[in-house]
Amino acid sequence: MYTANSLRDKIIHFQNTSEQHFQKQKNLPNFFKLSLAYLSFFLSTFLAAFRLPFLWLKRLLPSSIASAKEQAVLQVNTQNIKQVLQDNEWVVLDFWAAWCGPCMMMEPALESFAQRNPDIAAGKIDADQNAELLKRYKVKGLPQILLFHQGKEVKRHAGALSEHELEAFVQQEMSKISQAV
């Protein structure tokens, strides 16, 4: 049973389920829900574009001002990705961009996940600054979540996930791998 913790989670869940329902059964009510989901997607992208100048200003501020939630999420790039994957048994990487609405909607979910799961490394990769990593991992759309176990990719998801969906995404694969061992 899904329970949303915030309006953001409810919107992400609505977008994901609307698409799934329309794929299963193409009818007018599902088309209407899918249209609303796309409308909310475009609205979130517009809001992300509005937020972009403020994010650039934040980057200019000293890093010591970052919140505890932001510090729980690693900033991964071409220079440190190898070390992050070697040093941690489980790693969740979020490929994102500042102009991407769904990426901005997912940001709090990743921060909360990182705080609640200190044994799993959670990192963000800025797609605009790390094009080489997008090519290396064949990332075609944003946001894209990749899950690594012992340095090897074991699962990926394209699109935003709510806190609950991100937790389920990771725990399902961890359970599957631990049962296989």
Average pLDDT of adjacent 10-residue blocks, the chain of 181 residues:
67 87 92 89 80 70 52 93 97 94 92 95 96 97 97 96 94 91 69
Q: Is 103 a catalytic residue?
A: yes
Cα 72 to Cα 8, 104, 130, 137, distances in angstroms? 20, 17, 20, 23
What pTM value is reported for the model? 0.77
The pLDDT, as a whole number, for residue 94 is 98
Evaluate the CA torsion angle 37, 148, 168, 120 in order and state its sign: negative
pLDDT of residue 2: 47
Say whether domain 65-180 belongs to CATH 3.40.30.10: yes
125 in active site: no
pLDDT given at position 51: 74
Q: Which of 37, 74, 76, 103 is catalytic?
A: 103
Catalytic residue among 11, 81, 100, 105: 100
